[in-house]
Amino acid sequence: MNATTSSPNVTIPAVVLDLQTQLLAYLTLAANYFYRLPGSSIVLRYIKSSYQDDPVRSAVELFLFLFAVRYLLAPKYSTRETGSRGKGEVKLSEEEIDELVEDWTPEPLVPPQTAFEENEMEKRPIIVGPTGPKVKLSNGRTVTNLASFNFYNLLSSEHLKDSAIQTLRTYGVGPCGPPGFYGTQDVHNRVEADIAAHLGVAACILYAQAFSTISSVIPAFSKRGDVIVADSAVGYSIRKGLQISRSTVRWFQHGDMADLERVLKKVVQEGKGRQLTRRFIVAEGISEMVGDIPDLAALVELKTKYKFRLILDETHSYGVLGAHGRGLTEYAHVDATSVDMITGSLAGALCAGGGFCAGSDEVVEHQRISAAAYTYSAALPAMLATTASETIRLLTMGGPEAIRQLRESIKVMRAQLDPRSDWVRCTSAIEGPILILVLKDEVVRQRNLDRDDQEWLFQDIVDECLTNGVMITRLKAMPVMIGSNPREDGWQPTPALKVCVTTGLSKKEIEKAGVVIRHAITKIMKRGESQMKRISDSSR
């Protein structure tokens, strides 16, 4: 009754039959080849035995197998979003490349000078002959020099000059090799010992350049993943060191110990339950950009409490602060060994050259192989090393007297400027021989001065002072660094005048120079807003 489905009478077309036999023949052939393959019996046995009346498990295995096959067949691709092999790469034909090359006009390597820079270049004084408290300019005039870090007037010391010449005759000019590669001479070891003894720490390492000391010390210790808490007003060389170290940098408000504690607490909190990293606090002895002094006792207390290491940059305070010029540690009556790394300059107050980092034996030994500026640059010329040894000896022996004289000179200069001038105030510490003079807040507010306006005013004041025979300078901050995180460059120094006091001038001369500066400030500031506006407009 079910005739249609099971009828034997249904005829299969000959073509289909033919195809069927063909297919069977191919299959047998394929099976034959398969059996002939080595190991085929194992695979067959594996497949036959794998289905153990357990469809779910077999399905899982089959799925895994198919997944692996799919993975093996998938084409390779890059996960990089940018870069030469990234997804964003655009394929260009040869013509298109040529066209783009034709169209390309290179940006100038140096941008065209701004009106401000042109003006500065034009009026820049050039010193002829040796520098000192009184210098001769290229236009033939002799002016009072208050723009050099020649605080003790060691530049004019015949004794130092003689000893430098003596060293030059014995050792030659440069050692022509890095310290670890035949560059170290006995005088280098001597000056290292002298500085360590002067500061009262275990060891010291000598660098050939003051600028690269701190920017090499920081990356020698702090690496990627480590945390550095730094003062927001630190100078350019410290910023460079922070950048090179690749560490995570947190900033605290300049000189604000309460804010420092807040940041330290936050870092400690975030570090809980994670791998322990090295942690540092970076601060300056005398701030390069502001001129003030941090509370070292509080710094040391905080770093001990929160288990940080302290890197103190004494570039502007070594040789200046303390009764014997030992820097901030002597000034603040803090044991120098409680600061982990003290870096300093021999080029400023000490009138030699190079820089140093003082600390424990371990701290110093570590730098001998891993601080880039020590390992890769030629050692300090011997005559600078002996000069540094000599100036340190002078500071230790006659330090209190020299420093007292310097204090007197600073006092005389400050008296002419800070309380007396209606326009500027001095942000430097009372002991600081570099007076940083910024415009008073009310003046800035009243006249609505922006940064450019202030820079113009200060440049005019510098020029006016030079006309009256006193050479001073502006605070010149380095540019924002290329490649740095824009968020990290929130702090910018306030435009300022920079007056460097020296004991090479008598009290009368300093007083006279102070009066000149004060009058120049008053003259420029009183010039009237209209004129100033014109100048500032032309600068844009």
Partner 1 sequence: MSTLSAGTTTKSGRRRRSSSLVYTEPPESLEHISDQAALPNLNSQWVNAKGAWAIHFVLIVCLKIFYDILPGVSQETSWTLTNISYMLGSYIMFHWVRGVPFDFNAGAYDNLNMWEQIDNGDQYTPAKKFLLSVPVILFLVSTHYTHYDLTYFLINFLATLAVVIPKLPASHRLRFSIFTSAPDDDP
Residues that bind partner 1 (CB under 8 A): 46, 49-50, 52, 54, 57, 60-61, 64-65, 67-68, 71-72, 74-83, 85, 223-225, 246, 248-251, 270, 273-274, 480, 483, 485-490, 492
Residue closer to partner 1, measured from CB, 370 or 506: 370
CB 528, CB 156: distance < 8 Å: no
At CA 102, angle to CA 98 and CA 108, rounded to 5?
Answer: 130
Q: Report CA-CA distances (Å) from 309 to 185, 221, 426.
A: 31, 10, 31
CB of 366 to partner 1, least distance (A): 14
Residue closer to partner 1, measured from CB, 203 or 238: 238
CB of 75 to partner 1, least distance (A): 6
User: Cα–Cα distance between 236 and 253 in angstroms, integer?
Assistant: 17
Residue closer to partner 1, measured from CB, 171 or 491: 491
> Token pair 């720490």 is at which residue?
201
At CA 169, angle to CA 166 and CA 173, rounded to 5?
Answer: 110
Reduced to 3 states (helix: H, G, I; strand: E, B; else coil), residue 84 is coil
Residue closer to partner 1, measured from CB, 14 or 73: 73
Reduced to 3 states (helix: H, G, I; strand: E, B; else coil), residue 294 is coil
Residue closer to partner 1, measured from CB, 19 or 64: 64
Residue closer to partner 1, measured from CB, 297 or 369: 369
CB of 111 to partner 1, least distance (A): 15
DSSP letters for 436-485: EEEE-HHHHHHHT--HHHHHHHHHHHHHHHHHTTEE-EE--PPPPPTT--
CB of 77 to partner 1, least distance (A): 6
CB 371, CB 205: distance < 8 Å: yes
User: Cα–Cα distance between 32 and 247 in angstroms, integer?
Assistant: 66
What is the chain's Cα-based Rg?
A: 37
> Token pair 């502007």 is at which residue?
316
| Residues 6 or more apart whose Cβ sits within 8 Å of residue 369 | 180, 375
Within a 13 Å sphere around the CA of 469, how many CA atoms are in the beta-carbon half? Answer: 9
CB of 262 to partner 1, least distance (A): 14
Residue closer to partner 1, measured from CB, 83 or 400: 83
Residue closer to partner 1, measured from CB, 129 or 490: 490
Task: Give 219's DSSP letter.
Answer: H
Which amino acid is located at 355 in the chain? Answer: G
CB of 223 to partner 1, least distance (A): 5
Residue closer to partner 1, measured from CB, 60 or 430: 60
CB of 313 to partner 1, least distance (A): 20
Residue closer to partner 1, measured from CB, 169 or 487: 487
Strand order in the sheet with 497-500: 424-426, 434-439, 497-500, 473-474
* Residue 309, token pair as written in the block: 């290491």
Residue closer to partner 1, measured from CB, 4 or 52: 52
CB of 256 to partner 1, least distance (A): 17
CB of 487 to partner 1, least distance (A): 6
* Residue 538, token pair as written in the block: 């032309």
CB of 50 to partner 1, least distance (A): 7
- For 493, phi and psi rounded to 5 degrees? -65, 150
CB of 480 to partner 1, least distance (A): 6
Handedness of CA 232, 206, 348, 285 (dihedral sign): positive
